[in-house]
Every structure is written in C-alpha cells, then in structure tokens.
Amino acid sequence: MIGSLLYLTASRPDILFRVCLWARFQSNPKESHLFAVKRIFKYLAYTPTLGLWYSRDSSFDLHSYSDADFGGYKVNRKSTSGSCQYLGSMLVSWFSKKQNSVALSTTEADYIAVGSCCAQVLWQKQQLVDHGICVKNVSIKCNNTSSIYLAKNPVHHSRTKHIDIRYHFLRKHVESGDIVLEYIPTEKQVADIFTKPLDENSFSKFRRELGLCEFE
C-alpha cells in the first residue's frame, strides 16, 4: 500500500507528507498505522479528479519555499524538512524528508532544511543552463529569520557551533548570489504542507497554491 502511494506522490504532492510519515513504520506496522494509510486512500477516492495544472503562459522564474517542523516526529524528536520549487506558477519538484540528526533549535532545523532546498535549486539551475536558460538570485522563501541571518552572518556564535559544517555551504551560495533568502510569514509558507499536519482550511489553501485543481 505504501509503495503504491509513494508512486502516486509523483503527481499528487498533497499526500506526500502523510505517505512519507507512515512509510517510516513499514518494518513494524501496527493496526493504527494501517487505519491511517486507509484514510489516505479514502481521501484519494473523494478527490479522483485532482491534478497539477501546467500553463503554457507561465514564466521561467525559478523560486522555492523551504520549511521544517522542529522536533515534530514524536518517536525520536527528529525534525522534518520540506520544500517545493516553482518555475513561474508551475510546481516542478517537491520533497518531505526526516532529518538525519536531532536538531537542537528551530534555527538549526530550518537551516538544514534550507540547505537541502539550496542543493535542489542549484541542480535545477544547472538543468536550465543545459537548455540555454540562465537564472541568478533564485529566491528561497523561509519563515525563520534566524536561519536567514545565520546564512548572511560569517560569525559562528555559540548557538550555531553544533550545526554540521556540511550545511554551511548555504552561506557560500548566498554570498556568491546564486540564491537569495527571503522571509515569508508562516501563514503564506506553502512548504508547511510537506512538514506537518494542517487544519482543513490551511491544507486546502496550500493545496491550491501547489497548483492542484479539479479536472472534469
């Protein structure tokens, strides 16, 4: 069941967080996990005509959203990273992934998430270059101001010494102008749909912003 749902997430990003969450229990599933997975199938049964819309008039303006749910995974308190990338108004990639280590602060969790998002953006920039499209100063929208300040500040103060050095490549690309970190309010953070459970109104709003709409 999880394998089938993972295949479907390639065209239905609205179920990605839930599918990835319950996939963590595949080795030792309980009845509650089976019930939760069946709820995903029930949701799909009620939204069979929902799909991504790609407009021919959209621009090639590459931008991205990045977010993290600090300590949201109750089993071992690891955070979940989520991000999505757009070309104009078209959603082109998305991911939701549990972080490898336990973050000690919201700053660290979001900084790691933005680092992963940056790596994805750099790969997409290269793909565009291969097609003759040059993109600079790609915007990554984050709702954690501390992460943005950390990426711009070369001084390692005491609160950030524990962050692994491999994530500080983000600062290099900010300084070189490859990416630009921008603050966005939480209520407008589309990547929230990939990191945590949402109420019905927020879920429906972000689902529309992903470009999912009904096809008759």
157 pLDDT higher than 60: no
Least-confidence region, from 114-118, 146-150, 165-169, 173-177: 165-169
- Residue in 41, 47, 22 with CA at minimum distance from that of residue 33: 22
CA atoms within 13 A on the CB side of 120: 24
How far apart (Å, rounded) are the C-alpha atoms in residues 136 and 195? Answer: 27
- CB–CB of 151/112 below 8 Å? no
Compute the residue count for the chain.
216
pLDDT tens for 115-151 read: 899 999 999 999 999 988 888 889 999 998 888 888 8
Mean pLDDT of the chain: 88
- CB–CB of 182/145 below 8 Å? no
Q: In the chain, where does the domain assigned CATH 3.30.420.10 lie?
A: 62-190
**Per CATH, the architecture of 62-190 is what?**
2-Layer Sandwich (3.30)
